[in-house]
Amino acid sequence: MHDDPSAECAPVALHLLAKAPLPGRVKTRLMPRLGAHGAASAHAEMVRRCVAHACQALPAAQVTLWTALDHAHPLFIELKQRLGIHLAPQPEGHLGVRIHHALTSSPGASMIMGSDCPSITPGLIKACAASLATHPVAILPAEDGGYGLIGIHALTPADTRALFDDIPWGGGEVLTATRERLAARGLEAAFPATVWDVDRPEDWQRYRRLYPRAPSLLPPAFPPSRSHP
């Protein structure tokens, strides 16, 4: 638990991981239903929506999109120019390496979410940020056994590494393994809600029922920082 009364007001950084929407390289499990170009378009739509949710929850200056495959893809440039977010290239390595790098790239409380989890609403992002004022870790478990968002605050480097080293990424045991690491290190986590991501055709149908139309990139809820390049 945290005793610092200013923690609730401290800025929380939010990071997102996203691949460029290259046909045949993203959302391949959607390709039997949507085709390679359709799956890439679906991926691009979800990235836009997730980034829009992030900028509705927090000031754009606190949001960083970590890119892969094509760092200069027009989608990423559009999001930076229209919403005022930061862009950064993902490092090489497995998912745990990339998550750890992003979370430790900024001081203070930090969260990271996927770009294929549009069920993470602005309200849930705000709830997780608020949880980090009273908990060292906040997690939104995913229905598939992983998690859609994880946030950390005031962890030691060893505790941070323990949450991401040697985790069975890509399987249904990610959350279970993470809970075991938390318990082993005596860390209390907040779990505000359970979310779902879009990997399979049935997930895409569920998404379309929730969001029948592609998102329009409205101005963020907070004005972009004037100091942002």
Does 29 map to a domain?
yes
Count how many domains the chain has. Answer: 1
Please provide residue 15's backbone torsions phi and psi, each rounded to the nearest 5 degrees. Answer: -115, 145
pTM of the model: 0.90
pLDDT of residue 77: 96
Mean pLDDT lowest for which of 82-86, 176-180, 218-222?
218-222
Please provide residue 214's backbone torsions phi and psi, each rounded to the nearest 5 degrees. Answer: -65, 150
CA 162 – CA 19 distance, rounded (Å) = 26
Average pLDDT over residues 138-147: 97
The candidate with the shortest Cα–Cα distance to 44, out of 116, 121, 125, 148, is 116
Does 2 map to a domain?
no
Does 226 map to a domain?
no
The pLDDT tens digits of the residues spanning 28-68 come to 999 999 999 999 999 999 999 999 999 999 999 999 999 99
Does 228 map to a domain?
no
List, in order, residues 6 or more apart from 78 with CB less than 8 Å away.
217
Is the pLDDT at 21 greater than 80? The verdict is: yes
Is the pLDDT at 225 greater than 70? The verdict is: no
Q: Residue 63's domain spans which residues?
A: 13-210
- 17: which strand partners? 66, 114
> Is 220 in contact with 83 (CB distance < 8 Å)?
yes
Does 183 map to a domain?
yes
Please provide residue 4's backbone torsions phi and psi, each rounded to the nearest 5 degrees. Answer: -75, 115
HEC per residue, the chain? CCCCCCHHHCCCEEEEEEECCCCCCCCHHHHHHHHHHHHHHHHHHHHHHHHHHHHHHCCHHHEEEEEECCCCCHHHHHHHHHHCCEEEECCCCCHHHHHHHHHCCCCCCEEEEECCCCCCCHHHHHHHHHHCCCCCEEEEEECCCCEEEEEECCCCHHHHHHHHCCCCCCCCCHHHHHHHHHHHCCCCEECCCCECCCCCHHHHHHHHHHCCCCCCCCCCCCCCCCCCC
Does 7 map to a domain?
no
Does 222 map to a domain?
no
**CATH code for the domain in which residue 58 is found:** 3.90.550.10
End-to-end C-alpha distance for the chain, whole angstroms: 36
pLDDT of residue 218: 54
Does 184 map to a domain?
yes
More reliable by pLDDT, 166 or 217: 166
The pLDDT tens digits of the residues spanning 166-216 come to 999 988 999 999 999 999 999 999 999 999 999 999 999 999 999 998 777
